[in-house]
């Protein structure tokens, strides 16, 4: 099981939202770079970083934090939020992201997503799909689309899609456990794609149960910040 800690950024600060609501925001004292170093000391190899300002604004807003994380650690960074054009994509890669998460653009400009998958490869471009009541939500979870996760997977598989981060918004930040059956079903129907579980992790027990169901990659956010999962458990 690969555990990928999450760092969400607003105004250069580490935050967590509840159910994607920008008005339900908790700010933590550590900077994103300090948190990344903390995770690196625990032996974490990859971190999941979301530019929440960027997701809302439609362009990357916290590249300085990305650069600082990249320069102060050796962790692999998967970065998402506000990437709407090639200039944004290249800026994020130049600032140190090893993987780039494409969400809203994959829904609104699928041809561009196809081009990026062909050019940069499925090892670098990750599909980010945030689900609300089964439908994909975009623009920092502020807008719902008419597409399902299957619509996106079927569209991008022929272009080399290899990884997808699927978040159940109703679970995110609620510490009530993940939507396990959703991920088990997706993994069974799309065995060629590596799915990352995202949303709802409340304890190491949740992670063990996911592993027992055959899932092997999970993002953990609030459970770490609220000390429900401790550093020695990550190790």
In the chain (235 residues long), the average pLDDT of successive 10-residue segments reads 94 83 81 95 94 92 98 97 95 98 94 98 96 83 83 97 92 77 96 95 94 96 89 77
Q: Are 213 and 182 spatial neighbours (Cβ–Cβ below 8 Å)?
A: no
Q: What is the pTM of this model?
A: 0.92
Kindly list the domain boundaries of the chain, sorted by start residue: 2-234
H, E, C per residue of 50-97: EEHHHHHHCCCCCHHHHHHHHHHCCCEEEEECCCCCHHHHHHHHHCCC
Q: Are 54 and 23 spatial neighbours (Cβ–Cβ below 8 Å)?
A: no
Q: Are 60 and 54 spatial neighbours (Cβ–Cβ below 8 Å)?
A: yes
CATH architecture of 2-234: Alpha-Beta Barrel (3.20)
pLDDT of residue 95: 98
How far apart CA 226 and CA 83 sit, in angstroms, is: 29
pLDDT of residue 102: 96
Q: Which residues are catalytic?
A: 8, 130
pLDDT of residue 4: 96
How far apart CA 188 and CA 186 sit, in angstroms, is: 5
């Amino acid at each position: 099981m690969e555990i990928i800690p999450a760092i969400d950024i607003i105004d250069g600060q580490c935050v967590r939202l509840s159910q994607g609501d920008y008005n339900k925001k908790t700010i933590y004292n550590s900077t994103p770079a300090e948190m990344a170093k903390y995770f690196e000391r625990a032996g974490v190899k990859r971190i999941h970083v979301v530019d929440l300002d960027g997701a809302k604004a439609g362009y990357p807003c916290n590249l300085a934090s990305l650069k600082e994380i990249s320069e102060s650690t050796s962790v692999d960074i998967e970065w998402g939020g506000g990437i709407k054009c090639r200039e944004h994509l290249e800026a994020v890669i130049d600032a140190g992201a090893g993987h780039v998460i494409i969400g809203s653009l994959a829904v609104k400009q699928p041809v561009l997503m196809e081009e990026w998958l062909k050019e940069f490869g499925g090892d670098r471009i990750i599909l980010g799909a945030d689900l609300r009541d089964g439908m994909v939500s975009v623009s920092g979870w502020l807008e719902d689309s008419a597409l399902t996760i299957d619509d996106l997977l079927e569209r991008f598989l022929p272009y080399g899609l290899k990884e997808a981060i699927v978040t159940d918004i109703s679970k995110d930040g609620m510490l009530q456990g993940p939507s396990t059956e959703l991920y088990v079903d997706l993994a069974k129907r799309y065995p060629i794609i590596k799915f990352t579980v995202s949303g709802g992790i409340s304890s190491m027990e949740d992670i063990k149960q996911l592993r027992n169901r055959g899932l092997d990659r999970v993002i953990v956010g609030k459970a770490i910040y609220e000390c429900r999962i401790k550093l020695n458990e990550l190790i």
